[in-house]
Amino acid sequence: MEIVQRSRVYDGFYKLSQLVVQDGEQQLKRERFEPGHAAAALVYDTARQVYLLTRQYRVGAEQEMLEIAAGMRDGDEPADATIRREIQEELGYEVDKLEEIVTMWPSPGGNSETIAVFYAEVSRKTGEGGGLEEENEQIEVVELSWNELLAQPIQDAKTLIAVQWARLRG
């Protein structure tokens, strides 16, 4: 298969393109959602021995979601720089240690987004957290012990992956 034509059909907060894919003798039209690329992290406060997650309203789910800290990359910004910035904005912490778990395609059938998922250790709160007012973020910081984290009904895929990674790591 080969993409032989691309056209932007929507250019708002997110992007949507229509692609023409050559498959042998056949040409197929496919739409692709293009939200950008993201970074996320399961954050552990080593000083207080708690995991720091966020709770915020998500339009796609039409409800508040419990998630690991995350955000969109700005242009060519490296994923590690993105997640350091997001941890500061959302949780109010400087990162002491950062380890990449995986860079994944959450839904490659029609979505171009990748998410780099990290594990981060923090110990110094240097800001308020809660997100940025100019981005209309209203983020609640949720502190959980290991057992409390494992007891949460997590519905967010990147959070499930990060928590499962932590479980397997032991």
Domain ranges of the chain: 2-33, 37-169
Q: How would you label 130-150 residue by residue, b for 16+ Cβ within 10 Å and e otherwise?
A: bbeeeeeeebebbeeeeeebe
pTM passes above 0.85: yes
Question: What value does the mean pLDDT of the chain take?
Answer: 95
pLDDT for res 129: 84
The model's pLDDT over 16-75, given as tens digits with 9 standing for 90+, comes to 999 999 999 999 999 999 999 999 999 999 999 999 999 999 999 999 999 999 999 998
Assign domain 37-169 one CATH number from 2.120.10.30, 3.10.20.30, 3.90.79.10, 3.10.20.600.
3.90.79.10
Report pLDDT digits (tens) over 46-63.
999 999 999 999 999 999
Share of the chain above pLDDT 90, in %: 91
The 3-state secondary structure of the chain, one letter per residue: CEEEEEEEEEECCCEEEEEEEEECCEEEEEEEEECCCEEEEEEEECCCCEEEEEEEEECCCCEEEEECEEEECCCCCCHHHHHHHHHHHHHCEEEEEEEEEEEECCCCCCECCCEEEEEEEEEEECCCCCCCHHHCCCCEEEEECHHHHHHCCCCCHHHHHHHHHHHHHC
